[in-house]
Structures are given as C-alpha cells and as structure tokens.
Amino acid sequence: MKLYYFLSALVLALLASACGDDGDAEGTIVVTAYGEEFVEEGLTTDDGWDVQFDRFDVSFGGVSIADAIVTAATTVDVAVPSAGQGHEIGRVTVPTGTYDDARFTITRVAIEGRAQKDGVEKRFALAFDDAVSYSLCETSTRVRKGAEARFEITIHADHLFFDSRASAEPNLLFQALADADADDDDVITEDELEAAGLGAYDPGSDGADIDNLWDYLERLITEIGHADGEAHCVATRIVD
C-alpha cells in the first residue's frame, strides 16, 4: 500500500516539477550565438581544402524566449573566437520554469574568407539576404531561481559546404566552389556561382528549382540556424 502512495506522490511530484513555475521566483536566460569551431578555427573539407573565415556576420532581426524579447536586432560576427562560449546577444529575467518557445530571425548572413589547397588560394566575400524565422526548436531552457540558464543559437557554418541537402551524412566539399571561379582571379563571386551548374550536388526533394551553385548556397544558408548545438528548429523563409 505504501508503495502505491509513494509511486503516486512521485508521479505527481514529477508533474509539478515539469510544469516548472515556482511562485514569484525568477532567473535569467542568457542568449548566445555560437558558430562552433568550424567558424572560429576553420575547417578542412573532405576534398582537402582548408577554409578560414575572416568574418561571419549573422544579423538577427529579433530574438525572444519565455515570452520576452531578448533583442530587437543585432549583428554578431561568430568568426571571432569565443573559447567555445559563443557571443552573448542579450539576457532576460523571467519567472522560473522550463521554456520551449524560443524564436529568432536571421535577416542576413555576410561571410568573408579563404580556402587553400596545394598552394592555391580562393577568396570569397558573399552576402545572403533571405530572412529566415526559426521557431519550435527541439530544445528547452530550464530557469531556476536566481540562476543563469543559457539558450544558444548555434550557427552550423559547415552546412555551407554540404554536397547534399538530403543526405544524413553529406560530404563537406569546396572544389565545386573553387571551380566556379571562371575568370581564375582567385576570387569567387556571386555572379560566378550563379553561372556554375550543380553537377553531382543533390539539392534535395524540394530542390527542383535549384540549378546553380548560388541558389544552392542561398538555400543552404537558410538552414544554418540551430539551437543548443544540434537541436533543429522549424525554419521559415520570410518572403518580402
């Protein structure tokens, strides 16, 4: 009999805990943007190009969590080393509880960098202006009384080099981008990428209309926003 009461109490306690609120108690959520080591330290693609980012500016149009606005608009260069901590973009004081309502909008991504292989260096400076709203992220943020919790907007920059939008394990490639440098001046431009075919790249089930590398990159850039590392969010392109 005691066991039944114990189990019942345990279940009810779990329920109460999950619901989260602790009266008028409050805590803080610190929101950061982190580009991972791919951006901060560079990466080596599967086809042997060493890629370094000099700049990886992510412009946020608005970030909110726990029904509170963290920041209206800000731009963060996630290429600046952060020792794995990311860059704080705002903080809010909210009632204790567990929150899964984080939303953020990325309005622009501007990148500048270089890739090297076998003594060849290709430079790039590209800007992507498609605004994308991220919501329903598959993560939650637990706020305890008087404590700091973190919500991280994680930028998956390595996705820019995926050779497939459909594969669970795409290759990380740069050669096609290097080959797009049609005038061979070692600078890869938007126009050159627009003129370059996709070759063996797989733009995905919804990619029938993607037939050049610029359009492909534009689509990839709308999928770089994640939360707390690997958590996915629903990404919705905002059409003007």
Partner 1 sequence: MRTALPLACALFLWSAFAGCEGAAEPSRVTLPLRADASGLSPAESDLGYAVEITEAKLSVADFTFATPGELHTRWLRLTSVARAHPGHYEGGSVIGELRGRFVVDFMASEGTLGTATMLVGTYASANFRFETAEDDAAPPLAGHTALLRGRASRDDASVTFTFVVDAPAMRELVGAPFEATLTETSGGALGFRLLSYDPRSDATLFDGIDFFALDADEAGEIIVDPTSEGAASEAYFELRRRLLAHDFYDVRHLPEE
Residues that bind partner 1 (CB under 8 A): 1, 4-5, 7-8, 11-12, 15, 18, 136, 159, 162, 164-168, 197-200, 202-211, 220, 223, 232, 234-235
Between residues 5 and 184, which has the closer beta carbon with respect to partner 1?
Answer: 5
What CA–CA distance (Å, rounded) separates 56 from 14? 43
**Least separation, in Å, of the C-beta of 135 and partner 1?**
10
Q: Residue 26: what residue type? A: E
Distant-in-sequence contacts of 69-75, Cβ < 8 A, 24+ apart: 70/29, 70/31, 71/31, 73/107, 75/108
Instruction: Classify residue 160 by its DSSP letter.
Output: G
Of 131 and 198, which has the nearer Cβ to partner 1?
A: 198
Q: Is 65 helix (H, G, I), strand (E, B) or coil?
A: strand
Whichever of 114 and 219 has its CB closer to partner 1, that residue is 219
Strand 148-155 to 50-65 pairing? unpaired
Q: Residue for token digits 């209309």?
A: 209
Least spacing, CB of residue 69 vs partner 1, in Å:
24
State how far the Cα of 234 lies from the Cα of 112, in Å rounded to an integer.
Answer: 27
Nearer to partner 1, 75 or 175 (CB): 175
What is the closest distance, in whole angstroms, from the C-beta atom of residue 128 to partner 1 in the complex? 16
CB of 86 to partner 1, least distance (A): 21
Select from 118, 111, 121 the least CA-distant residue to 159: 111
* Least distance between partner 1 and beta carbon 19 (Å): 9
Which one, 68 or 231, has the nearer CB to partner 1?
A: 231
